[in-house]
Every structure is written in C-alpha cells, then in structure tokens.
C-alpha cells in the first residue's frame, strides 16, 4: 500500500507539473478561432472559384460546342474582327479566355495558365467525341450500351469492417505517436534537468528508484493521454468544418465514431504509450547533457515502429502482419489495424494485450534499474556497453 501511495503521489505531481488545463484551454480557443477563420476564408475562396470565367469564341462556332461550354463558362460570341480587341482586354485585365477553332484543332489564348484548363479540355474532348460519333453514325444510346460494365454479384463468407474502422485505427496510431513524442520531450525536461540540478539524488534518498520511475512513467503517460483527448476534439471539430465545404452533414463524421472500436484502440494505444515511455525514460536516464548526446536521436524509434505497423494494411493475413500484431513494439497499432481489416481470432486480442502488459512490466523494471545506475555514474555519459554491464550487477 505504501508503494501505491508513493507512486500515485509522484504520478500526479508529474501530471500537474506538465499538464496545464489553462494552457490547453487557450490552445483549444486559439485553434477554434483559426478553424473559424480558415472556414470562412475557404468559403470565400471557393465562392470565387465557383464564378464562371468569361470565354470568348467566334460567332461561327458549332452550337453543340457552345452549349457544352455554357455549362461552365460565360460564353461571349464575337466576330473574327474582334479577336485583337479581346486579346488586348485579356492582356490588360489579366483575366478571361479566347478560344479559336481551326482545321488543326483549338487554340486557347489567356494571360496565364487558367485554373479551369482541365475543365475546358474535357469539354473540348466531349465535343470532338460527339462529332466523331455522329460522323460514324453511332448514337449516344448505342455508345452508352457498349460501355455497360459486366454485372457481377459478390459473395464473401467474411464481411470486412467498414473503411471508417480502418481510418479510426490509423487515427489512433497517429495520436499514439504524437503522445509518445510529447512524453519524450517531457521526460527529457524532467529526468535530464533533475540530474543536472542534482535533485534526483535527494529524492531517491527518500523513495526507491522504482517508485520514482513508475511515477514518472504514469504521470507523463497521463499527460500524453490528455493531449490525445485534446487533439481528438480538435480533429473532430476540424473534420466537421472541413466537411461543410462539401455540404456533408455532421452525422457523416459522427458515423466514424464507433464506440467498441474506440475502446479497443484506446486500450492498445494506452499500453503502447506506457511501453514507449518506459523505453524513452531509460534512454533519458542515461543522458547527461541532452544538447551534446548522440542518444537523443533514438527518439525517432517509435516513429519507425509505427510506420512498420502500416505494412499490415497491405496484407493483414501475411506472416509478417501476424508477427507485427504480436511483437510488443508494434502490436499496439498493428493489431487494431488487423482487427479493422480482416478476421482476427477472439483469443488474439487478449493474448496480444497480455504480451503488452508483460512487456511493460519488464521494461519498467529495466528502466528503474538503469535509472538507479545512472545516478551512481558521474562525469562522462556512459556507453551502452557500460550500462548493460552495470545493469547485470546485483
């Protein structure tokens, strides 16, 4: 009981030390303001793009082409004598288009490459295809009947989960790596800073290194989880604002929030953060001067393992994917992804979770041992071989 009380004291001390609700509220408010500005700015920008561009064409242009172009442009019919005047207007106003048809095809005159060039080309292609069909005596109905695809009925014994589950798994993987990187920054600040100020020796003289290390791991993990929740709310808000551009209802993004999947992904992400915090705490314990340490580059390790987890999407039933869903450094993201894509045995979920818990238990012990050894070493930063040698000693 004394152990749990001491760990809880250190945990909440670390949590309150780094997690500032007031700062998070300010961050949310700022992001809300930025999102609103981008929303209305985007609406204004898109409203300008929806305005039809002025397109000038000769008066002898085919009526079929004029009808096709009128769907996307303000068509201005001119005489051949007015071409030079239109060209001068385009050069002066830096806006507008002039389309000239000749025996070889079409020539587009503009001040610069227009944003609607792709649309214009597609309309010209559609016109040329329609004229070619008329020349060969092919009606539109006959042409459409030729392009009718084969009727294929699909029947599968296993029904895949929806794409929303896959996106949700990838979303949690991104949040987990974000929480790990934030935690690593906090651990560098806490552990290396305390070592340089000679505070650690005084604290460890009062409590055991294991208690001190467990409290730091749990406290900084709670900080990372809190940041995950904050960024999740921001992502939902940003998604709602984004979908408003396409007039998609809010219920569409809410359909992605599948509660059983969220609970499963959260549990695995939580264990993944604990494991990586244990590893990174051990690394931070060895570092004497973070500004001149080569071990700081190891902070990229979590990113590499999370990226490896995305190999599961390619073939979730391969031997590599099964291995990644059991390997503790990748299973926190790989198994949820496999569960979202393919059929996973009911025993694999609790089995992989047990492996994660056992790995965390071992790594927290190892981190505390390395932490205790690092306190005894003064002067130059120890090498990995020295740490391993001292860790084996009782």
Lowest mean pLDDT among 83-92, 172-181, 230-239: 230-239
Give CA–CA dist 265/329, Å, rounded.
Answer: 15
**357 pLDDT tier (thresholds 50, 70, 90):** very high
Instruction: Between 307 and 292, name the one with better pLDDT.
Output: 307
Span 111-140, average pLDDT? 85
Give CA–CA dist 42/145, Å, rounded.
Answer: 41
Residue 248 reports pLDDT greater than 70: no
**Predicted pLDDT at 80:** 81
Give residue-wise pLDDT tens across range 253-273: 666 666 777 788 888 888 988
Q: At CA 222, angle to CA 216 and CA 225, rounded to 5?
A: 140
Domains in the chain: ranges and CATH: 51-146 (3.40.190), 162-392 (no CATH)
Average pLDDT for the chain: 76
For the entire predicted model, the pTM comes to 0.66
**Predicted pLDDT at 161:** 56
Residue 178 reports pLDDT greater than 80: no
User: How many other C-beta atoms can be found within 10 angstroms of the C-beta atom of residue 110?
Assistant: 19
The beta-carbon contacts of 119-122 under 8 Å, at least 24 apart in sequence, are 119/72, 120/55, 120/69, 120/72, 120/73
Lowest mean pLDDT among 4-18, 189-203, 326-340: 189-203
Instruction: Between 310 and 131, name the one with better pLDDT.
Output: 131
Give CA–CA dist 282/22, Å, rounded.
Answer: 30
Residue 163 reports pLDDT greater than 90: no
Residue 383 reports pLDDT greater than 70: no
Span 190-213, average pLDDT? 67
**200 pLDDT tier (thresholds 50, 70, 90):** low
| Paired strand residues for 101 | 106
8 A C-beta contact, residue 215 and residue 7: yes
Backbone φ, ψ for residue 221 (5° rounding): -65, -40
Instruction: Between 101 and 379, name the one with better pLDDT.
Output: 101
The beta-carbon contacts of 317-323 under 8 Å, at least 24 apart in sequence, are 317/342
**Predicted pLDDT at 353:** 92
């Amino acid at each position: 009981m004394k152990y749990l009380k001491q760990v809880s004291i250190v945990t909440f001390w670390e949590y309150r030390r780094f997690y500032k609700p007031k700062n998070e509220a300010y961050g949310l408010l700022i992001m809300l303001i930025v999102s609103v500005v981008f929303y209305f700015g985007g609406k204004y920008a898109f409203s300008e793009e929806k305005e039809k561009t002025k397109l000038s064409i000769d008066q002898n242009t085919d009526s079929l082409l004029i009808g096709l172009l009128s769907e996307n442009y303000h068509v201005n019919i001119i005489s051949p004598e007015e071409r030079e005047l239109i060209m001068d207007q385009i050069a002066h106003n830096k806006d507008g288009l002039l389309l000239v048809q000749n025996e070889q095809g079409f020539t587009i005159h503009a001040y610069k490459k227009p944003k609607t060039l792709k649309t214009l080309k597609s309309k010209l292609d559609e016109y040329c295809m329609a004229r070619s069909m008329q020349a060969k005596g092919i009606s539109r109905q006959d042409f459409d009947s030729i392009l009718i695809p084969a009727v294929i009925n699909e029947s599968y014994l296993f029904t895949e989960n929806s794409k929303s589950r896959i996106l949700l798994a990838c979303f949690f993987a991104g949040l987990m790596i974000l929480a790990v990187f934030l935690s690593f920054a906090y651990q560098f600040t806490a552990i290396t800073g305390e070592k340089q100020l000679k505070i650690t020796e005084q604290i460890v003289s009062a409590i055991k290194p294991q208690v001190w290390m467990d409290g730091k791991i749990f406290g900084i993990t709670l900080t990372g989880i809190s940041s995950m929740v904050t960024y999740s709310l921001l992502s939902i808000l940003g998604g709602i604002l984004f979908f408003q551009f396409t007039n998609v209802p809010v219920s569409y993004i809410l359909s992605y929030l599948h509660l059983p999947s969220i609970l499963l992904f959260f549990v695995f992400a939580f264990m993944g953060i604990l494991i990586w915090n244990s590893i990174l705490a051990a690394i931070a314990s060895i570092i004497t001067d973070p500004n001149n340490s080569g071990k700081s580059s190891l902070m990229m390790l979590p990113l590499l393992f999370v990226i490896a987890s995305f190999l599961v999407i390619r073939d979730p039933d391969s031997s590599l994917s099964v291995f990644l869903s059991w390997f503790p450094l990748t299973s926190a993201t790989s198994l949820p992804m496999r569960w979202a894509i393919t059929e996973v045995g009911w025993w694999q979920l609790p089995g992989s979770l047990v492996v994660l818990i056992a790995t965390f238990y071992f790594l927290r012990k190892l981190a505390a041992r390395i932490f205790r050894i690092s306190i005894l070493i003064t002067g130059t930063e120890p090498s990995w071989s020295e740490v391993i040698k001292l860790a084996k000693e009782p």
